[in-house]
Amino acid sequence: MGKYNDLAKDIIKNVGGKENINGLTHCVTRLRFKLKDEGKANDDVLKNMQGIVTVMKSGGQYQVVIGNNVQDVYNDVTALIDVDNLNTSSQEKKPGKLLDKAIDVVSGIFQPILGIMAACGMVKGLNALFVAMGLYSDTSGGYLMINAIGDALFTFLPLFLGYTSAKKFGLKPMIGLVVGAIMCYPGIQASSISANKDAIFTLFQGTMFASPVYIDFFGIPVISMDYTGTVIPVILAVYFASKCEKLFNKFIPDLVKFFFVPMLTLLVALPVAFIVIGPIATFGSTIISEFVFAIRDFSPLLAGAIVGGTWQILVIFGMHWGFIPVYINNIMTMGYDNVMMPFFACTFATSAVVLAILFKTKDKKLKEMALPNFISGIFGVTEPAIYGILLPLKKPFIISCIAGAIGGGFYGFFNFRKFMVGGMGIFELPAMIEPDGSMGNLIVALSGIAITMVIAFVLTMILYKDKEEVNEEPKEEIKEVATEEKNNNMINKEVIDSPIKGEVIKLSNIQDDAFASGVLGSGVAIMPTEGIVVAPVDGEITTLFPSLHAIGITSEKGVELLIHVGLDTVQLGGKGFKAYVKQGDKVKKGQHLLDFNIEEIKNSGYSVVTPVVITNTAEYLEVAETKSENVDRGNSLITVIF
């Protein structure tokens, strides 16, 4: 029984139970579930659970962000479910966006090998570093052996991707492994064939796709390629093989399926892979590379700034996976990558922002979170800092993106490159030493780190304020209003707490004329960051709409409030909502009233902006709204002056 056994049980229970799980993988910070029905998962319960940073939904995955202990939690979860026998190919087919599907495919293929890939990359990087330092030569036996340890995975990468792609596409994993092995077979590599034969002729001569032909397949010309270390060709070949396997399974008799289906699958899929799929995939990579380099030729600085400024946003939505194959392909085909590498600045921008918060904040809980998240970020794992600190505070996240853009622009301008796959954070630095041992690129890397961290740290120290400081503003304003009214012998008031956590928006700025005009009463709107509604006052539930999207409460002092979750959400008929009270119930301030599923509402095409208004505004002398930009449940939101 593992250390996180109880947490594992709670996670399984709140993602809908074992029977709701179709697949499970993990990366450096997250458990990534494939659920049959995400609606059965208890988002808010999981988000508030000790040991969980947050919950994300992206790319068709239900992601439970754990942090640095994800491996241990994963081990305890998989001990409770038979993860190896989860049939990902039989998952329910749900409609989804093409981008989400693409991200899901790429992430599902690469996640299982990212850890070992990073480890091997670090071995290669350290080996290069030690040679550059003169500790041993690149002809010594020690170098050759360590290089083999680090380089084997990348040389035979199609084998690994053949296996993981097969599991993703529903092909028998051993067939996928064989497909990858065949694509690494020495006898069919272009370098091997060209060394022993003269070209018969050249296809597409005079273009970027010029390809000498050395062999044919029963009269069909075969464009020879070197597939060792490549990414896209084997993934597409395995996908095609999975379709072949399904086809042959339909008509091959059960008696001989055991060997005839894999035999026919390989005999059909591999020639097609070598004749059609491989060359097209390689040509596609050539086009992408040329396009990217054209943009970089126009302005490397701008290209780097865009990557550096948007990388963390891409990570949050899981969209960064789309760059991984390009990154690996560039290193394998060109010997370096300079397209994705400006993202390197983001790691240190995040770490510097967290460090500044550590120095500036007086919040003990925030200090406790900041130090380990800073250390984690320096080592390349930034998700705990992003989800646990930067995003909830908003402004620090924006600062980190700005600093990342500046650092990324610096890296783009100086053509910053990485020469080997692997490593994270400071452990990537050895992979930035140029193959000839010169240190110019490494100096650029270190300079970019320094520039990015200084900018991020200084901006945070200047612009960041603790929540306590921000919340003083409305209290002072309310105090001033109360003092003014006291002077006029009007001292009765009622403070309405915020029923929802989120960003405060002026009522006049929302896209609903009835609320924006104030005809329904004065108040504010909140853009919620979590789907929980609590009672803002002691009082009685006077209205609860059948659709559960709106609650009316009358306070003990007679203030009538309306909490309207979302705009036009009555159309949902209660879908995505769950009430914990009924009309006529007496409630206490802070009592849990309602849950609503933010993502479900958004996916249905409706806004989650939530007006909170005093419907009997005309009976009061003044209704003063908070000046805070953000509120938590229980913070002062509206002060009603009698």
Catalytic residue set: 27, 564
**3-state SS of 58-127?**
ECCEEEEECCCCHHHHHHHHHHHCCHHHCCHHHCCCCCCCHHHHHHHHHHHHHHHHHHHHHHHHHHHHHH
SS3 state at 528: strand
Please give the C-alpha separations between residue 106 and each of 111, 238, 329, 401, 455, in angstroms, as whole numbers. Answer: 8, 13, 14, 25, 34
For residues 246 and 90, give the distance between their C-alpha atoms in angstroms, rounded to a whole number.
12
**3-state SS of 579-616?**
ECCCCCCEECCCCEEEEECHHHHHHCCCECCEEEEECC
Long-range Cβ contact pairs of 444-448 (< 8 A, separation 24 or more) = 444/411, 444/414, 444/416, 445/344, 445/416, 447/410, 448/344, 448/345, 448/407, 448/410, 448/411, 448/414, 448/416
Residue 3 in contact with residue 76, Cβ under 8 Å?
A: yes
Greatest distance between any 2 Cα atoms in the chain: 102
Residues 89, 91, 96: CA angle, nearest 5 degrees: 110
- What are the structure tokens assigned to 327, written together? 């990154």
Q: What is the DSSP letter of 626?
A: P
For residues 248 and 426, give the distance between their C-alpha atoms in angstroms, rounded to a whole number.
50
DSSP characters for 450-488? HHHHHHHHHHHHHH---HHHHHHHHHHHHHHHHHHHHHT
